[in-house]
Chain A
Amino acid sequence: AQTVTQSQPEMSVQEAETVTLSCTYDTSESDYYLFWYKQPPSRQMILVIRQEAYKQQNATENRFSVNFQKAAKSFSLKISDSQLGDAAMYFCAYRSARSRNNRKLIWGLGTSLAVNP
């Protein structure tokens, strides 16, 4: 069974600085998707970034980028130029690509990010 591990329950960063959140996963599959979601205090779960395992190029969305290391099964999120609005819980998630009918996400426990002014 697949698992997702986020080893940092809490992180903090100074405004305008860069922070990296770690995520590792365990799977025997070769084709899958990885996601980072953000959940601010409003509790809305917001997609931050998405990576297909067959793509070697790391996904990027504005100030958010990932370091996807398939062999190491690592999927870290880098937030550049951190802003106060980035303060939230960040969840890493995995989904198998094996079946289009099985879209179940496997979730990590989350990392709480604080941004200090």
Chain B
Amino acid sequence: SAVISQKPSRDICQRGTSLTIQCQVDSQVTMMFWYRQQPGQSLTLIATANQGSEATYESGFVIDKFPISRPNLTFSTLTVSNMSPEDSSIYLCSVSSRLTDTQYFGPGTRLTVL
């Protein structure tokens, strides 16, 4: 499976600011995804990061709040904009390739918004 890293691993931010989370994978992958996991809950898909085009967002998530970039096949960023305490969550990226139908996850970013 691919080795996936995320930066930062955790952060504490002030209300109204923005945070950009990076996801790096050690091999070229077809699909990259961003998830949110609120405390004590399951995972919710935010969007699919598409290389060279705009991300595909799930219902309830918008580009203005969660802009995503994917400049190449091994890297993506998720920005959480104009943060509020309700954005306090774990944010995870995952990847899959044409060779596998399985998603593999990064270590996650724990975000706390004060």
Residues of A within 8 A of B (CB): 33, 35, 37, 42-47, 50, 91, 95, 97, 100, 103-105, 107-110
When A and B form their complex, which 8 residue pairs have the shortest distance between CB atoms, in order from nearest? A45-B105, A107-B42, A43-B108, A44-B107, A109-B42, A107-B43, A103-B96, A103-B31
Question: In the complex, what's the smallest C-beta–C-beta distance from A42 to chain B, in angstroms?
Answer: 7
On chain B, the residues within 8 Å of A103 by CB distance are 31, 33, 48, 96, 101, 103
Closest to B108 in A: A43
9 of the cross-chain contacts (CB-CB < 8 Å) are A44-B108, A45-B108, A46-B105, A47-B103, A50-B102, A91-B42, A100-B101, A103-B48, A103-B96
Query: Judging by beta carbons under 8 Å apart, are B42 and A43 in contact?
Result: no
Question: In the complex, what's the smallest C-beta–C-beta distance from B107 to chain A, in angstroms?
Answer: 5
On chain B, the residues within 8 Å of A44 by CB distance are 105, 107-108
Looking at chain B's contact residues, the main secondary structure is: strand
Contacts A45-B94, A104-B48 aside, 8 further interface pairs with beta carbons under 8 A come to A42-B107, A43-B107, A43-B108, A47-B102, A47-B103, A100-B98, A103-B48, A109-B42
Query: Judging by beta carbons under 8 Å apart, are B101 and A97 in contact?
Result: yes
Given A44-B107, A44-B108, A45-B92, A109–B41 Cβ distance below 8 Å?
Answer: yes
- Give bound CA distance, A64 to B105, whole Å: 20
B39-86 interface with A by 8 A CB criterion: 41-43, 45, 48
- Give bound CA distance, A108 to B90, whole Å: 17
Given A44-B108, A45-B92, A45-B108, A108–B101 Cβ distance below 8 Å?
Answer: no
